[in-house]
Amino acid sequence: MRFQQLKVIYFSLLLLLAAECVVELRASGRGFDTVLFGGDPLERSQATPGYGPAPGWPYRSHVPDPDDRRPRVWLASGSYLHDVHVPPASNAASRLNLALGAEVLVVNYSGAGWDMTHNTLMLRGEQADALPGIAVLYQLTNDLTALARTGGQETQRQSGTNNGDDFFSRTLERTTSYAHLTTAITARLASHSVQEDGLGVQGATGYASRVRDFIRACRERGVQPVLCTLARSTGGQDPATLRPEERRNMFRYIGNVSALGWLRTIDRWNDVLRRVAEEEGLLLIDVDRALTGRRELFRDLVHFTEEGHQALAEVLRAGLQPLLKASLGGAGEAK
């Protein structure tokens, strides 16, 4: 092969590498783990002094003193609360921490891309002295994505396995460029693919299994679980009411569930949460009935604006107040 031909190939590869460096640096600065830069090398996500993520405190909430022994409340969630689109001091966990006062420490035990199974594994593996008294679960759509990929069937997740993939494939799939490309392609192909109008009974059964496993893990560790239904920007089940950004959010990672299927499944699984809470004798905070349909609170179908984070914190405070008053002797009363 001639040098001129090789030069074109090398120059193209160099451009691709440079582009990957740019998008990886941007992603790491927003708190995502990346191949080249890890989590946040410039600590740009530390937008407010006193709030994480910070060394030794990876959570996007208030950084306590090392000897802080206040009762802890975990908000176990995914990107709804990890939310890199708002400053750490402005998310629902931080606002709830202020609302509950000095007697309680609220920990934003959430991560972008985490589903309920991840929350459960983290809970089971946490050191005893870091465990909370109460763990509030706010999870649904990442579990919908995971179960949709398996036809609604729950699968056993194991750490440390690579499912036979070679190192090159695994590294490629971790790059930010790969994530952007697959996201864009999936969203565009979704409108042309055969889609299901929900995950049906099997999906609801798989989701209920995940919820009960989280409850079981809490009880094994001496933690009081609290369940929350999921709020969304639009009520009802009419896909015609969805805005473009709401549709894009649905089809970002999977394309085999239709818009109607997403709306139906969210409603059905919120009912699963209500039923499981009643059967298990648990506190349920019905965020769905409190906030769904208030579009000014959402930037897409399920992720909040700063105003939405404040509204969520208020709903959580009101819901937790009786439990905190009973267990902590008055903590959580309105300030």
- Residue type present at position 210: R
First CA to last CA distance, the chain:
75
pLDDT for res 153: 64
Give the C-alpha distances (Å, rounded to integers) separating 280 from 26, 61, 216, 221, 323. Answer: 43, 30, 10, 17, 16
pLDDT for res 329: 63
pTM for the structure as a whole:
0.80
Do 59 and 111 meet the contact criterion of CB atoms below 8 Å apart? no
Nearest to 58 by CA among 90, 33, 85, 95: 33
Q: Identify the band that residue 94 occupies on the pLDDT scale cut at 50, 70 and 90.
A: very high
What number is the average pLDDT over the span 113-138? 96
Taking residue 278's Cβ as centre, other Cβ atoms within 10 Å add up to 10
| pLDDT at residue 93 is higher than 90 | yes
pLDDT for res 63: 93
Measured distance CA(175)–CA(157) in Å, rounded: 22
What number is the average pLDDT over the span 313-325? 95
DSSP structure class, residue 102:
T
pLDDT for res 164: 43
The residues, any chain, with a CB within 8 Å of residue 302's CB and separated by 6 or more, are 80, 140, 141, 230, 231, 232, 233, 249
pLDDT for res 195: 58
Q: b/e map of 232-261 (b: 16 or more CB within 10 Å)? A: bbbbebebeebeeebbbbbbbbbbbbbbbb
Which of 145-159, 178-192, 210-224, 274-288 shows the lowest mean pLDDT across its residues?
A: 178-192
pLDDT for res 198: 82
Measured distance CA(16)–CA(29) in Å, rounded: 20
Which of 102-111, 150-159, 183-192 shows the lowest mean pLDDT across its residues?
A: 183-192
What does DSSP say about strands 134-138 and 284-285: parallel, antiparallel, or unpaired? Answer: unpaired
pLDDT for res 33: 54
Quick: pLDDT tens for 130-178.
999 999 999 999 999 999 988 766 665 544 334 444 555 545 544 555 4
| 82 three-class SS | helix
pLDDT for res 55: 84
Across the chain, mean pLDDT equals: 82
Residue 262 φ/ψ, nearest 5 degrees: -60, -50
